[in-house]
Copies of this chain bind each other. A is one copy, B any other.
């Protein structure tokens, strides 16, 4: 793996995990010394971060980690609803949507087990599996690319709100509804279920977020 890739992965992970807080200045020399590589791969990594929207280049001061505000979260979810609904529609229209019935069952089962300790990480993996399955069934590289960069931002926002068991249980049910709609090949229901889920998710973030963020 290239050094620039390692730098990019490292910085991106640190940003989405809030180890590098918004407003942090990412100096090229500073980061190259910290990560033990020269400035060139650091520059390339910073360019990619700027392209992703995780950092912005300020004149003279260098690149700084971009801010995350409540307004941004709402804007982010407008885009998310648009993209994930389109993706769900495409997946429901796809001929290879056979695995979604099983996914729906797994979500329904996990809705009952969600209160058991240690199952949370497992649940997040299940969510990612559904996302990946929708992506694959939708089979649209442009959509996938847009969703990929969107999800990077979502990872960062997710840290704003603490998940609680009740929300996770409801979330599992909503995901099951999405999977069922796709399995039955009904694009409108799939899009509607996605809209419902994302609306609930945004509401939860906006009511459980502000004030107590920033670990």
User: A: which residues have CB within 8 A of B?
Assistant: 40, 43-44, 47-48, 51, 53, 72, 75-76, 78-79, 81-83, 85-86, 90, 140-143, 145-146, 150, 153
What residue of chain B has the Cβ atom nearest to residue A86's Cβ? B82
Beyond the given pairs A53-B145, A72-B142, 10 more chain A to chain B contacts, judged by CB atoms under 8 angstroms and listed by A's residue number, are: A43-B44, A51-B51, A53-B142, A75-B141, A75-B142, A78-B140, A78-B142, A81-B86, A82-B143, A146-B146
Counting every copy of the chain, the complex holds: 2
Q: Which of A44, A82, A86: most chain B CB closer than 10 A? A: A82
Q: What residues of chain B lie closer than 8 Å to A83, measured between beta carbons? A: 79, 82-83, 146
- Residue of B43, B85, B153 near A82 (CB, 8 A) is B85
Q: What residues of chain B lie closer than 8 Å to A146, measured between beta carbons? A: 79, 83, 146
Q: Can you list 30 residue pairs at the A/B interface with Cβ under 8 Å?
A: A43-B44, A44-B44, A44-B47, A47-B47, A47-B48, A48-B51, A51-B51, A53-B141, A53-B142, A53-B145, A72-B141, A72-B142, A75-B140, A75-B141, A75-B142, A75-B143, A76-B142, A78-B90, A78-B140, A79-B83, A79-B140, A79-B143, A79-B146, A81-B86, A82-B82, A82-B83, A82-B85, A82-B143, A83-B146, A142-B153
- Residue of B48, B79, B90 near A142 (CB, 8 A) is B79
Q: What residues of chain B lie closer than 8 Å to A85, measured between beta carbons? A: 82
